[in-house]
Amino acid sequence: MSNISISPGKNNVGAYIKNLDLNILEAAQIKEIKNILDKYGVVFIKEQNLNSETYQNFAKSLGQLVEYPRLKGLENYPFINVLERKPTDKSVVFGGSFLHQDTSYLNKDRPRYTMLMGIEVPKNQGNTIFSSGFNAYKKLPEQIKEKIKFAKGIFSSAGPISKTRRELEARSGIKSKEVMEAEHPIVHEVNGQKSLYISPGHLMKIKINENENEELKKYLIDHVNKDEFIFSYEWKKGDIVVWDNLSIMHKASEIKNCTRIMHRITIK
- Considering the complex, what minimum distance in angstroms separates the CB of residue 93 from Fe ion? 11
> Burial level of 105, CB count in 10 A (0-12/13-18/19+)?
buried
Residues 80 and 262 sit within 8 Å (Cβ to Cβ): no
Q: What order of strands is seen across the sheet that includes strand 230-233?
A: 230-233, 128-132, 248-252
d(CA 74, CA 175): 18
Nearest to Fe ion of 129, 144 (CB atom): 129
Sign of CA dihedral 254, 200, 104, 250: positive
- Considering the complex, what minimum distance in angstroms separates the CB of residue 232 from Fe ion? 15
d(CA 87, CA 148): 43
Interface with Fe ion by CB under 5 A: which range of 75-83, 88-96, 152-160, 192-200?
88-96
- Considering the complex, what minimum distance in angstroms separates the CB of residue 114 from Fe ion? 6
Number of shown-chain residues binding Fe ion (CB under 5 A): 2
If you ran DSSP here, which 8-state letter would residue 227 be given? G
| Torsion of the alpha carbons at 232, 14, 159 and 215, rounded to the nearest 10 | -90
Interface with Fe ion by CB under 5 A: which range of 34-42, 100-108, 228-236, 241-249?
100-108
Nearest to Fe ion of 9, 200 (CB atom): 200
Under the binding rule (CB under 5 A), the answer on residue 111 touching Fe ion is: no
Under the binding rule (CB under 5 A), the answer on residue 102 touching Fe ion is: yes
Nearest to Fe ion of 126, 148 (CB atom): 126
Under the binding rule (CB under 5 A), the answer on residue 159 touching Fe ion is: no
Interface with Fe ion by CB under 5 A: which range of 7-15, 37-45, 93-101, 123-131?
93-101
Number of Cα atoms under 13 Å in the Cβ half of residue 29: 17
Interface with Fe ion by CB under 5 A: which range of 4-12, 38-46, 97-105, 135-143?
97-105
- Of 250, 243, 111, 116, the C-alpha closest to 182 is 111
**Three-class DSSP category at 6:** strand
Interface with Fe ion by CB under 5 A: which range of 1-9, 98-106, 204-212, 255-263?
98-106
Number of neighbours of residue 178 by Cβ within 10 angstroms: 7
If you ran DSSP here, which 8-state letter would residue 188 be given? E
Work out which of 95, 96, 159, 200 binds Fe ion, going by CB under 5 A. Answer: 95
Nearest to Fe ion of 41, 95 (CB atom): 95
Nearest to Fe ion of 48, 103 (CB atom): 103
Nearest to Fe ion of 98, 137 (CB atom): 98
Nearest to Fe ion of 95, 140 (CB atom): 95
- Considering the complex, what minimum distance in angstroms separates the CB of residue 102 from Fe ion? 5
Residue nearest to Fe ion (CB): 95
d(CA 192, CA 140): 17
**Given the rule CB under 5 A, which residues bind Fe ion?**
95, 102
